[in-house]
Copies of this chain bind each other. A is one copy, B any other.
Amino acid sequence: MKKRFSSYIDQLQDRISSALEEIDGAARFQIDNWERPGGGGGQSRILENGGVFEKGGVNVSKVYGQLPEPMKAYLKVEQGDFFACGISLVIHPNSPLVPTVHANFRYFELYDNNKEVVDQWFGGGIDLTPYYLFDEDVVHFHQQCKSVCDAHDPAFYQTFKDKCDRYFWNTHRNEARGVGGLFFDYCRASDERSIEQWFDFVTAAGDAFLDCYTPIVNKRKDLPFGPEQRNWQELRRGRYVEFNLIHDKGTLFGLKTQGRIESILMSLPPAVQWKYNVSPAPDSEEERLVRVLQKPINWIKQ
């Protein structure tokens, strides 16, 4: 399973970075290989100042060794070795009319002292952060998420959609980071589902990423926008930073366990503003976005 998922994320990284380069048309991903002192390493692929994408990272990491202290505490295990691998991506487009997207698919193994696997699970998800709402884009995104889920379990979509809304919640602002998508974690073998079946689901979700996102990019990337819309995008990106640095478990965990800082913080947007007490004009598109973020809705009629 370790090998299977490990090769899967490598080829997914290739597929996604090629497809995004093709859409971008101007910039290429720069490849950065890094090693982890305690064992393992990864490959970061970063694109900056592109024709369509202002900053994007499509990163793979495969790390192993002794469990770092904060991970022991978090997982409530006394000791042992671990293996973790995953692909993590965040794309910040130039245009405020094209949403930011984030996806992550990961696999974790825990070993006992005889190097036997004592626990293994998948986690991950995909979510969208628009700066302007095109309802049909959000519906498309959620519809793609739902199709992947429905092929595996009719309960998945609603469960993982709700988890996503709960997870990407900026508590201190009382609003969602974006319009959600899917979020799942600790997907372990059970009577109902083997680890192979979870592999099938998680890789199907990975395979769906480009179908979720690229049609939206293609539809909106050439629309004209003005400096006020760009301004709004940079202000809202501030909320993205707030979520990632204050609340996101993955980010904080990575920082605590001496992960590779630049690969972790590649998620931060390229240009961001904070102004005091900004509130959008009544009945504006900006206000509509905020209203929707304050109360997550079901985008797909059941």
Chain A interface (Cβ within 8 Å of chain B)? 30, 32, 44, 46, 48, 55, 57, 171-173, 234, 238, 241-242, 245-246, 252, 255, 261-262, 265-266, 268-277
Contact = CB atoms under 8 A, between A and B. Distances in A.
Contacts of A252: 246
26 contacts: A30-B276, A44-B276, A46-B276, A46-B277, A48-B275, A55-B276, A57-B276, A173-B261, A238-B268, A241-B241, A241-B272, A242-B245, A242-B265, A245-B246, A246-B246, A262-B276, A262-B277, A265-B274, A266-B276, A268-B274, A269-B274, A270-B274, A270-B275, A271-B273, A272-B272, A272-B274
A34 to B, nearest CB: 10
A48 B255 contact: no
Contacts of A277: 32, 46, 262
B268 A271 contact: no
A164 to B, nearest CB: 22
Contacts of A57: 276
Contacts of A172: 255, 261
A128 to B, nearest CB: 20
Contact of A272 (B46, B255, B261, B273): B273
A122 to B, nearest CB: 27
Given A172-B261, A269-B274, 14 more contacts: A32-B277, A44-B276, A46-B277, A48-B275, A173-B261, A238-B268, A241-B272, A242-B245, A245-B246, A246-B252, A262-B277, A270-B275, A271-B271, A271-B273
Can you tell how many copies of this chain the complex includes?
2
A32 B271 CA distance: 28
Given A262-B276, A273-B270, A245 B241 contact: yes
A57 B272 CA distance: 19
Contacts of A173: 261
Contacts of A270: 273-275
Nearest to A237: B272
Contacts of A30: 276
Nearest to A57: B276
A245 to B, nearest CB: 4
Contacts of A272: 241, 271-274
A266 B266 CA distance: 24
A276 B54 CA distance: 12
A107 to B, nearest CB: 25
A242 B251 CA distance: 12
A31 to B, nearest CB: 12
A268 B275 CA distance: 8
